[in-house]
Copies of this chain bind each other. A is one copy, B any other.
Amino acid sequence: MTIHARSLARTVSVWARREESRNACLETPWCQAVSGDLEEALRKADLAILCTPVVHLSEMLGEIGDVLPGGCILTDVGSTKANICKAASEANLVSFVGSHPIAGSEKTGLENARDDLFEKCPCFVTPIETNDLANCEKVTDFWQSLDMNVMRATPEEHDQILAHVSHLPHFLVSALCHALANQPAEWSKGSGQGLRDATRIAAGSPAIWRDIAQQNRSEILKALDHFDVESKNLRRMLEENDSENLFHWLNKSKAYRESIE
């Protein structure tokens, strides 16, 4: 939708497994061609973007190798990067450069698409040693032409960072929701906007987040260790009624929050 709105391509060609999805795309103004056949969909492509769930990406890379036109750059939008970049390297797909545009909300599906979804949002591009530098630049340029703020990182750095700033928050507020779901249902009537904002991301797709956990569990566990240190600090301050240190601790948290505004 954004590619069309910004006239970045002559043709947007969609490959999708389900006919229903292909038909839905064909009805939009931004899609010029659809196919259920990978070779057909890719035939004239200069840039191919894999948007399947992260657990299917590695499998797809195997299929794609046989039908990818020479000169076509391949990237993806997966939320984890180490596994997929490793799979691409093993499949000898040298034109693959991993990406992770960070945009959207807890909502999914074509009906929640917006042509300004990517504007001013961060995007990781995660080249590996075997990548052609020109391909990295082209992938970077592509996301920048969608008005994204592109950052470079190794796939491993990306997964470490995202484990902290995205995956940890998601699983923590999911654990909070779980703990609250175990309490009397009427209690939630006493909650305010704060709880709603804090837990919005817990309404995200369980399938997507199960897959992210599977792909990045060692880094998420390390991030959880970092959280647990602070959770234990908090518990100690509450147990000892240590108001003075709690005040300083809360001040540091507030300063962090304000630094990301």
Q: Mark A189-212, 1 if CB is under 8 A from B, else 0.
A: 111111111111111101101110
Is B221 a contact of A194 with CB atoms below 8 Å? Answer: no
Is A195 a contact of B246 with CB atoms below 8 Å? Answer: no
Residues of chain B within 8 A of A185, CB atoms compared: 259
Chain B interface: which of A4-12, A83-91, A236-244?
Answer: A236-244
The answer to whether A24 has its CB under 8 Å from any CB of chain B is no
The answer to whether residues A193 and B105 also contact, given A171-B234, A178-B230, A238-B220 and a CB cut-off of 8 A, is yes
Give which listed residue, B175, B197, B243, contacts A210 with CB less than 8 A.
Answer: B243
Q: Hey, which bits of chain A sit against chain B, CB under 8 A?
A: 102-106, 121-122, 124, 149, 151, 153, 158, 161-162, 164-166, 168-183, 185, 187-204, 206-207, 209-211, 213-214, 217, 220-221, 223-224, 226-231, 233-235, 237-239, 241, 243, 246-247, 249-261
16 contacts between A and B (CB under 8 A): A103-B192, A122-B192, A162-B190, A164-B183, A166-B195, A173-B253, A174-B234, A179-B230, A183-B226, A188-B259, A198-B199, A199-B257, A206-B247, A214-B241, A221-B238, A224-B238
